[in-house]
Amino acid sequence: MYRVLLVDDERIILDGLSRAVPWASMGCTVAGTASNGEEGLRLVRALRPDILLTDIRMPNMDGLSMVAALRSEFPRLQIAVLTAFRDFEYAQTALNLGVCRYLLKPSKLDELYEAIRVMTARLDALPPAPGEDAPEEDPAAAGSSAGNYIVRQALDYMRAHCAEHLTLADVADHVYVSQWHLSKLINKHVNQSFFDILGRMRIDRAKVLLADSSLRIHAIAEQVGYSDVAHFSKSFKRFEGRTPGEYRDGLARH
C-alpha cells in the first residue's frame, strides 16, 4: 500500500479527500493530513509518504519553493497539486519542477483518480527503495530542474541579504531544505561553497562602495557585512589580490 499525505488549509477539503477517494482499492492509504505548508513539510520528512496531494497556495508558504524542495530532497515522492489558483505560468513551473498533475478546484473525481493512478504507476515502475538505514538519494546526484530552482532561489536571497549576518541555516530555511542538502546542491550547480559565494557577493558590493572616496573603509566593511575591518581586508585581498586601500588607490589613478 502506498502512503499518501494530504495537505490543504481548508479542513473541508482534507475531510472530503480522505473520505471520497477509495484509497484502499487504489493501493493506497492516507498516512496523514496537514493544514498548512510548514506542517506538510514536517510530516513528509517524518512519515516519508510515497504520494503527496497538496494545495500550492497557502499562507506563509512559497508553494513552488516547497515543491522544489520536496522533489529534490525526496526524488521518489510523487506530487499532485489541487488548487484554486489559475495561472498558466505558475502551473507550468510546477509541472517543470516535477509535479505529476496540476488539478484545479473544484476538481472532478475522475481527474483526481487519474492522477492517483498515474502516480501509483510511476511508483510501481521505480526500482526498489533503499533500505531504511541508507540515504534515500544523494542530493548532489538528484539534479533536475527542482535542484536548479532551489539554488536560484537561494542565490537571490543571498544577494538581497548578503550584507546581513547571513548563515547557511538562514538560506536553507528560506528554501525549505536542510543545510546539508542546500550545501550539496550549491556545490553541484555552482561548484562553489556557500561561504565563497557569500564572500564574493560582499566583495563585489564593497568594490562599488570603494569608488566613493568619501566613504571610510571601516564603514564600507560594516555596510557589506563584516564585523571588523581586519576581516574585511583579509577577505578582500583573498578575492581581489590586493587590499581595499590598494584597490581604491588603483581607481584614483585611473
State pLDDT tens for residues 148-162. 999 999 999 999 999
Lowest-confidence region among 18-22, 58-62, 158-162, 193-197? 58-62
User: 240 in helix, strand or coil?
Assistant: helix
Residue 47 has pLDDT above 90, yes or no: yes
Q: Sorting pLDDT into bands at 50, 70 and 90, what band is 26? A: very high
The set of cell numbers assigned to 197 is: 559565494
Q: How confident is the prediction for the chain on average, in pLDDT? A: 89
Across the range 143-172, mean pLDDT stands at: 92
Helices (H), 106-143: 109-125, 139-142
Predicted local distance difference test score (pLDDT) of residue 54: 92
pLDDT higher than 50, residue 99? yes
DSSP string computed for 56-75: S--TT--HHHHHHHHHHH-T
